[in-house]
Amino acid sequence: MTRSDPLVMEARVPPAGPAFPDLTCPSPSADVGNVLCLVTPSCRRAWDRGTFRPVLAGNAYTGPFSRKCQTYAETFHHGSWCVLDPHHGFLFPDEIIRKGHDACLFRPWTEPITLDGLRTQVKKRKLDRYERLVVMGGRRFIFLVEEAFPGRKVRAPLAGLGGIGEMMHEINMALASGNRL
């Protein structure tokens, strides 16, 4: 990848220690299944509205597209989905974010987690035991997940759709009909 590549992120030291000091991570369930749904974050966050309070990762991202993707994930992949937090990496919805941040995935100057940091997290958090991934997000997000999980089968049901409006429409249709994309 080159410096102009949108997936290149500025180098940042990954969180220290065996666990992340500013979030609570539950132990991964032994009964995982074989599909993990990964949801895009948004630049709108719960802590943007004032004083920060610890927040569940599933409630942290408040942008309409991210919320819609989270609803889809919770409906069709209950208990088997993560949001990709730009600072902490892959978080299950019941994990607690104890410290707010301003990081955005595709804005290097905000110091998001690096691709190497994501790959390390995939191994440490044992996310590589999932055989298939469903990625709910746009083109750059899909590419980033493919890079973080090399060799994994990735299904991106929103790929090829025009923009966020079309993607949200497709998600709404799936939720209304009860049929996965």
Query: Who has greater pLDDT, 32 or 170?
Result: 170
Measured in degrees and rounded to the nearest 5, phi and psi for residue 98 equal -95, -10
Note the pLDDT of residue 6: 32
Q: Is residue 172 included in any domain, yes or no?
A: yes
Residue 2 has pLDDT above 60, yes or no: no
- Residue with more model confidence, 53 or 13: 53
Report the C-alpha gap between 59 and 67 in whole angstroms.
9
When divided into structural domains, the chain yields a total of 1
**Chain mean pLDDT for the chain:** 77
Assess if residue 24 is contained within a domain. Answer: no
pTM, two decimal places: 0.76
User: 45 in a domain, yes or no?
Assistant: yes
- Indicate whether 166 belongs to any domain: yes
- The pLDDT of residue 97: 86
Which residue range(s) make up the domain with 152? 38-177
pLDDT-derived band at 135 (thresholds 50, 70, 90) equals: very high
At 161 the pLDDT is 87
- The stretch 73-98 carries a mean pLDDT of 90
Q: Is residue 69 part of a domain?
A: yes
Radius of gyration of the chain (CA): 15
